[in-house]
Amino acid sequence: MTIYSSQRPVTAEEAYQDMCERITSLQLKPGQKISENQMGEDYGVSRSVIRTVFTRLSQRRLVEIYPQRGTYISKIDLDFISDLLLLRTAIEKEILYEIFETMDQSQREGLMNQLRDNLERQKKYSQSSGYEVDFKYLDSEFHRILIDSVQRHNLMDLMAEHMIHIARWRNFDVTFAHRVPELIQEHEAIYQAILDNRGGRAMRAMSAHLETISKIADQARAEYPEYFV
């Protein structure tokens, strides 16, 4: 049975995008062996199409291709993720700096209204143990509101190619440590610091929110050694 139910053929781009999602969401697990035959059956396409998809995934460090041995979903490289999170933290702290330095009172009030509305919707998930799709959207939206408020879309676009690795770690991190209630509290801390006009506190809250590896790395490696480099 193919993943796609439509009668039209699946394109290489559709298969590629769907595999990215399956890897990010951990449906395809780190270290898992995959084959051209199986993926071809899943998507109803030829091995040559899947071979092209695997090459693209390899270029993004999402799969490892070993001649004569097979293709494997890349394990999570926590050192690499740590570097990416450091870059993202620097960008979001710069965004906070610009919020405090460039926005007038009216603009700040509009920003706070958007963040408050987002947080109210987040609170509906305060008892969630998993990282539900709707909450993922709200989590991303909270940061997008901040980014959009100072029109710094290009800064995040610079990281777009690698954000998928952060997203995969986020899916693992939040589910493994049941962190949805904690994420909401962290967002609230950022919001409150901005509301109180405390720039330094807002930046510290953002750093604490984004630096997730040191909190659970040892336990995660101990319980899921097969997932990590």
Query: Using CA atoms, how far apart are residues 132 and 22, in angstroms rounded to an integer?
Result: 15
Closest CA to 183 of 122, 114, 106: 122
Instruction: For residues 94 and 39, state if they share a domain.
Output: no
Q: What is the pLDDT of residues 168-214, one digit of tens each?
A: 999 999 999 999 999 999 999 999 999 999 999 999 999 999 998 98
In angstroms, the CA 135 to CA 217 distance is 23
**What is the distance between the alpha carbons of residues 36 and 51, in angstroms, rounded to a whole number?**
7
Same domain, 135 and 186: yes
Q: Are residues 29 and 121 in the same domain?
A: no
Q: What is the domain range of residue 218?
A: 78-227
If one counts the domains in the chain, the total is 2
The residues, any chain, with a CB within 8 Å of residue 47's CB and separated by 6 or more, are: 36, 37, 40
Question: Within this chain, do residues 138 and 205 fall inside the same structural domain, yes or no?
Answer: yes
Average pLDDT over residues 130-148: 95
Q: How many other β-carbons are positioned within 10 Å of the β-carbon of residue 49?
A: 20
User: Does 1 have pLDDT greater than 60?
Assistant: no
The CATH number for 104's domain is: 1.20.120
Same domain, 82 and 193: yes
Span 18-57, pLDDT tens digits: 999 999 999 999 999 999 999 999 999 999 999 999 999 9
Question: What's the pLDDT score for residue 161?
Answer: 87
Kindly state whether residues 134 and 209 are assigned to the same domain: yes
Asked if 100 and 177 sit in the same domain, the reply is yes
Q: Evaluate whether residue 4 is within a structural domain.
A: no
Encode pLDDT of 113-135 as tens digits: 999 999 999 999 999 878 999 99
Tell me, yes or no, whether 206 lies in a domain. Answer: yes
- pLDDT at residue 79 is higher than 50: yes
End-of-domain residue from the set 73, 93, 115: 73
